[in-house]
Amino acid sequence: MFRAREPGKIAALMATRNEDWVLGLTLRASLLYCDAVVITDHLSNDRTAGIIEAARREFPHREISVRRSEDPEWMEMDVRHEMLGRARALGATHFVLADADELPTGNLLPGLRARVLGAAPGRFLSLPMISPYHGIQKFRWDGVWGSTSQVPWCFGDSLKLHFHLAGEHQLHRRVPFGALSGGRLLTGHAAGGVFHLQFVDATRLKAKAVWYKMIETLRYPARRTPAQLNEIYDWTLRGDGAELHAIPDAWWEPYRARGWMEFFEPQATPWHLAEVQRLFRQHGAAVFAGLELHGLEQAVERGNA
């Protein structure tokens, strides 16, 4: 049973960059059970601003805090820490890590608020990561995608929690420093979890993997070798021996019933493609020698990548 000891206020922390292909869905989902959504919009030049304003009108009883970042670099820990501060200023006691390409499976919606408020101060709770694979009908569940695939999803506040340390690696950390695990809310894949929607489209997945390899090479040139970066990021692209399961209708139905699936465009061109090509032109082939770029450094038509 998940029961808050006392009333609390929930804020979702959502960073986004050119995610109009899915933001209209994921933002509305967070507004269903969170009191506030704290957004950092990093360099978006798509429909993001309009999507946020439309959601604000639809949910007048919720708070939406937006900060526009023009920083040319993606400093993830700084962004997460700043969002945490804004959420605290709104009076939030509990926080959901709700990246713009993540969505709770719809079957969990009725109990989500109670689950978040059940997080003890300084403790984070995890849910299974459900990865729709090359479409919305099936998800992958094997290897690192499988039984150990848990995503830190929410935490109760404590003043000792923070995201930023001077000189800290600025990518891929979700758990605040100082937070302890409060356990898994669910195990296995049958009961649902958090959809990670980057996996829904093969081109998007490939472009995002290449982009991360390139920015790690530029920002932390001595941290990992090209072979290590290829191994870390390209595992998402390997399909040999994939264990696939059908996605139950109940996991999409609450969103479909509300008409929100119209805001979900999995095959929209990912912004990472243009960034990969820009970085390659700007820095040259020698800088990225040894990285598997999958041909994305060249101009390609959407659907041929």
Is 1 a residue whose pLDDT tops 60?
Answer: no
Is 4 a residue whose pLDDT tops 70?
Answer: no
Cβ proximity of 83 and 13 under 8 Å: yes
The helix or strand, by DSSP H or E, that contains position 153, with its residue range, turns out to be strand 150-156
Is 7 a residue whose pLDDT tops 80?
Answer: no
Residue 70, number of CB atoms within 10 A of its CB: 7
Is 224 a residue whose pLDDT tops 80?
Answer: yes
pLDDT of residue 304: 41
Is 3 a residue whose pLDDT tops 60?
Answer: no
54-103: pLDDT as tens digits: 999 999 999 999 999 999 888 899 999 999 999 999 999 999 999 999 99
pLDDT of residue 242: 87
CA 177/CA 24 separation, integer angstroms? 30
Dig out the tokens for 84 from the structure: 């945490």
Of 132, 107, 114, 139, the C-alpha closest to 257 is: 107
Using the 8-state DSSP alphabet, how is residue 277 labeled?
H
pLDDT of residue 28: 98
CA 19/CA 42 separation, integer angstroms? 10
- Structural domains of the chain in order of their starting residue, each with its CATH number: 10-196 (3.90.550), 203-237+269-305 (no CATH)
Q: What is the pTM of this model?
A: 0.92
pLDDT of residue 302: 43
pLDDT of residue 146: 74
pLDDT of residue 280: 96
Average model confidence (pLDDT) across the chain: 92
CA torsion angle for 90, 109, 56, 97 (degrees, to 10)? Answer: 50
Q: Is the dihedral of CA 119, 124, 130, 134 positive or negative?
A: positive
Least confident of 130-139, 262-271, 291-300: 291-300
For the chain, how big is the Rg over CA atoms in Å?
19
Angle between helices 271-283 and 202-219 (to 10 degrees): 30
248-269: pLDDT as tens digits: 999 999 999 999 999 999 999 9
For residue 256, what are the contacts with CB-CB under 8 A and spacing of at least 6?
none
Q: Which amino acid is at 25?
A: L
CA 46/CA 91 separation, integer angstroms? 31
Dig out the tokens for 145 from the structure: 């995608």
